[in-house]
A = this chain, B = another copy of it.
Amino acid sequence: MVSSPSLAPAPAAITIAVDCMGGDHGPRVTLTACRAFLERHPQASLLLVGTSAALGEFSHERARIVPATEVVAMDDPIEIALRKKKDSSMRVAIQQVKDGAAQAAVSAGNTGALMAIARYLLKTLDGIDRPAIAPQLPNIKGGATTVLDLGANVDCDAEDLLQFAVLGSALVSALTGDESPTVGLLNVGEEAIKGSETIKKASLLLRTAAKSNVLNFYGNVEGNDIFKGTTDIVVCDGFVGNITLKATEGVASMIVDFLKIEYSNGLFSKFAAIVSYPVLKALKKRLDHRRYNGAALLGLRGLVFKSHGSADDVAFGYALDRAYDAARNNLLDRVRARIAHAAPLLARPQSAAPADAASLHV
């Protein structure tokens, strides 16, 4: 649909900068994942950012240690992370992207701090007011649905939602090779007349964008469509997105808990659990959120990926892979190309421009 940079073979050297100190487990998890990543991708290089004490013993011919003296804590306020810890591993990792030493950065640290630092150092792309966070969720088709925004922007207007749709389309194109992924607008019903004023306006903007071949708008979708895989991309504001994500995590873990309770309820059930072990293992694999780890921070002049804070080495490895795929498939060029194509639609009346940094609460 949009003429995108082709899926060229990977350049000779893609380098990913890794904040090795971030997340609940720090280097114990990130370094294990980094070593496995280097084995999987013989052409990739890593910049391992962290304190010398924590990373000192790591050695690999395609990895280089970049020292940082500070660490952003998971509960650090954004202000502290941004203004006080200027030599944090998170910030130094993103600086590598800014300096062109790496094509993407990955961190499992504090989401709010990561977004704030990334935004401060890299700046948003022309035509984009607010960067968005775009994770992938599993769907019944066995694939993944990319949902954005998931937490960075609690108050969004229709133009923001259009921008998210453009950004999400570029991401899915880069990760899957599908140049025309479908976009759904999350709403309380499929009919165009339903929803808040913002949603109705966004629906109109998305229809116009589709007519101009800027993106492939399917129409309004409902909450269950995320898991049906009705569209490749689902667009919503960060408030709805965050609550939806957490609610679905909640219901999934409730079901798993119920299964555990029932399978341990009496001898026969325990026998059934043993017999069912392979089945339950396969179910667990299907639902394994680790496979979906690695959310893109989109709309910035550089690639940054957020891993879940509680990620283990397998999960962190998926985030590294996602960042690598995005970088070698030229995600940033794709985003720029799509924004250029969408430029006439993305322009908004000056008076309606949103307050810039007001919504970084998540």
Contact = CB atoms under 8 A, between A and B. Distances in A.
A262 interface: yes
Q: How many copies does the complex hold?
A: 2
Listed residue (A197, A199, A240, A251) with the most chain B CB atoms within 10 angstroms of its CB = A251
B275 A189 contact: no
A223 B243 contact: yes
Q: Size class of A's contact patch?
A: 35 or more
A346 B251 CA distance: 33
Interface of A: 138-140, 151, 154-155, 186-189, 193-197, 199, 222-228, 236, 238-240, 242-255, 257-259, 262-263, 265, 268-269, 271-273, 275-276, 278-280, 282-283, 286-287, 361-362
B275 A247 contact: no
A262 B283 contact: yes
A227 to B, nearest CB: 4
Contacts of A269: 278-279
Nearest to A151: B188
A127 to B, nearest CB: 25
Given A223-B247, A275-B275, A275-B276, A239 B195 contact: yes
7 cross-chain pairs, A with B, having the tightest CB-CB distances, nearest first:
A224-B250, A223-B246, A223-B247, A227-B250, A248-B251, A188-B242, A223-B243
A239 B188 CA distance: 6
A228 B247 CA distance: 10
A278 to B, nearest CB: 7
A257 B229 CA distance: 14
Given A195-B239, A226-B250, A275-B276, 14 more contacts: A138-B254, A140-B254, A151-B188, A188-B242, A224-B249, A227-B247, A227-B251, A248-B248, A248-B250, A269-B279, A272-B272, A272-B278, A275-B275, A276-B279
B244 A247 contact: yes
Contacts of A280: 262
Given A154-B196, A240-B240, A252 B249 contact: no
A244 B240 CA distance: 8
A283 B259 CA distance: 6
A306 to B, nearest CB: 16
B283 A272 contact: no
Contacts of A248: 223, 247-248, 250-251
Contacts of A276: 263, 272-273, 275-276, 279
Given A240-B243, A361-B195, A262 B250 contact: no
11 contacts: A139-B254, A154-B195, A188-B238, A194-B361, A223-B247, A228-B254, A236-B243, A255-B287, A262-B283, A265-B282, A275-B276
A242 B248 CA distance: 13
